[in-house]
Amino acid sequence: MKWICHVFFPLCLGFASQAWAVTYLTQEQAMALAFQDPSTAKRHELIFDGAHRQLIEKKLGEGVPQRGVLAYTGKLKSGEEHGVMMFDAVIGKHEYIDYMVVLDEKGAVKFIEILVYRESYGSEIRGKSWRRQFDGKSENDSPQHEKNIVNISGATLSCRHVTDGVRKLLAVAGVYAGELGLKAGKME
């Protein structure tokens, strides 16, 4: 009987940690939230090569471990002629959080959405009131955890990492502004 506990209990724990994953939106559903006609959105694979990586890291004041970001441009559902949607994932406490950021043509945040949340607690970051804090943020008024983005008790690491992720995407949008058709930002 003792061996059963040693074999099956760890297996159950492994399954339990994955049972918390909740998909709120697929990438296709997210695109439908952002664009008037998602089928006309243009795909951009923003690869962080040497010069781009250096500029992004200079703007952030820290290294960027990933190799690139997936972005789409097109006419926003809000009626604006042009906007950008970027997908990213950050680590919460132990698991990844998939999210998207939608920017207007000036590079300011229109809204963010949490797509997939895998942690067993802290999903309050998906709440509209917390996400709304990012609206209007830009490279010039970038989101800063516990400065202009309020923390949620019990979700501190998720709050901090999503905030840092949005700040990173704003820097990426600034560096790739020309390619993305944004009126703000430029490669310096």
pTM of the model: 0.86
What DSSP string runs through 6-35?
A: HHHHHHHHHHHHHHT-EE---HHHHHHHHB
Residues of the chain with confidence (pLDDT) below 50 = 1, 3-17, 186-188
Is residue 165 a part of any domain in this protein?
yes
Short-list 20, 32, 86, 91, CA closest to 56: 86
Number of compact structural domains in the chain: 1
Its domain, for residue 163, covers: 21-180
Integer Cα distance of 92 and 72 in angstroms: 25
Is residue 14 a part of any domain in this protein?
no
Q: For position 19, what pLDDT does the model report?
A: 53
Q: For position 2, what pLDDT does the model report?
A: 52
pLDDT, the chain, mean: 88
Integer Cα distance of 55 and 175 in angstroms: 7
Is residue 188 a part of any domain in this protein?
no
Is residue 4 a part of any domain in this protein?
no
